[in-house]
């Protein structure tokens, strides 16, 4: 993340893509969301063994926290020749079947470069206590739009402890943990390799999908009727899933 952070909300700035809008009232919400992902994101699939390992690790972390079926973001920070992957998944208590709905390439914290941290393992919650924002899309001095084009959503998880990636004796320090898009021309083609300062980078298409269907926004949806700031941040073309959740689980597959 190299662009200067701005808190200005860009209402209605999300770029439009052709969308097959799910009819939640008449559809199986899991199947409908899977179809929406295939239509709106698509792209390569994660290796099946890696995806299964990530889902098992995510389930172990999240099962005690879920009181109903819901979506979550599952990030695999493993530095592997097959790449780094982010998965949109669904899970729930009891006999609910946990499933990955779709995957995309991601970049997490990079080792060996000053001021870069390893993205912290574990679960973070998007609980509505921090207001996210939208990217302005302004290039920095190197021509890089570090948070993506104008209107891309930024989810803010606050200050988190993360391990330094450049010191011979690693230390734990605080970073601001975000989920965000990146420059679509210069940096998005590099997704799949560690590259960030500790944040979680996703593609533009993944960003729009998470935003449009409220994958991480259950708390925001509940707060929006009484909080104008949150209502203004949610996309005007949104079709929130009834499975909307609030968690990100960061794992590292073997």
Q: Please, what CATH class does the domain formed by 29-251 belong to?
A: mainly beta
| Each residue's pLDDT tens digit, 79-126 | 999 999 999 999 999 999 999 999 999 999 999 999 999 999 999 999
Residues 24, 33: contact at Cβ < 8 Å?
no
| Each residue's pLDDT tens digit, 194-229 | 999 999 999 999 999 999 999 999 999 999 999 999
| Each residue's pLDDT tens digit, 182-198 | 999 999 999 999 999 99
For residue 227, the surrounding DSSP H or E stretch is none
Angle at alpha carbon of residue 30, lines to 28 and 32, rounded to 5°? 65
**Domain ranges in the chain?**
29-251
111, 113, 116, 122 alpha-carbon torsion, rounded to 10°: 0
Percent of the chain with pLDDT over 70: 90
**Structure-block tokens of residue 171:** 């230390």
DSSP state, 196?
B
Pairwise CA distance, residues 186 & 6, whole Å: 21
Pairwise CA distance, residues 149 & 3, whole Å: 11
Q: What per-residue confidence (pLDDT) applies to 105?
A: 98
- Decide if pLDDT at 17 tops 50: no
- Assessment of whether the complete model's pTM goes beyond 0.85: yes
């Amino acid at each position: 993340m190299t662009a200067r952070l701005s808190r200005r909300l860009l209402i209605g700035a999300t770029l439009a893509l052709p969308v097959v809008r799910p009819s939640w009232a008449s559809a199986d919400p899991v199947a409908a969301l899977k179809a929406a992902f295939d239509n709106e994101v698509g792209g390569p699939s994660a290796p099946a063994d890696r995806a299964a390992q990530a889902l098992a690790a995510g389930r172990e972390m999240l099962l005690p926290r879920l009181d109903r079926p819901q979506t979550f973001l599952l990030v695999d920070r493993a530095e592997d020749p097959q790449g780094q992957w982010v998965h949109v998944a669904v899970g729930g208590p009891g006999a609910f079947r946990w499933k990955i709905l779709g995957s995309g390439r991601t970049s997490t914290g990079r080792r060996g470069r000053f001021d870069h941290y390893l993205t912290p393992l574990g679960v973070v919650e998007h609980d509505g206590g921090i207001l996210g924002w939208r990217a302005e899309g302004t290039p920095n001095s190197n021509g890089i739009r570090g948070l993506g084009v104008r209107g891309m959503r930024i989810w803010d998880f606050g200050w988190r402890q993360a391990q330094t990636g450049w010191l011979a004796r690693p230390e734990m320090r605080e970073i601001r943990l975000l989920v965000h898009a990146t420059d679509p021309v210069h940096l998005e083609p590099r997704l799949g390799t560690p590259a960030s300062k500790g944040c979680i980078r996703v593609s533009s298409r993944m960003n729009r999908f998470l935003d449009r269907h409220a994958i991480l926004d259950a708390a925001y949806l509940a707060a929006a009727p009484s909080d104008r700031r949150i209502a203004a941040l949610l996309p005007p073309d949104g079709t929130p899933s009834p499975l909307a959740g609030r968690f990100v689980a960061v794992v590292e597959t073997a």
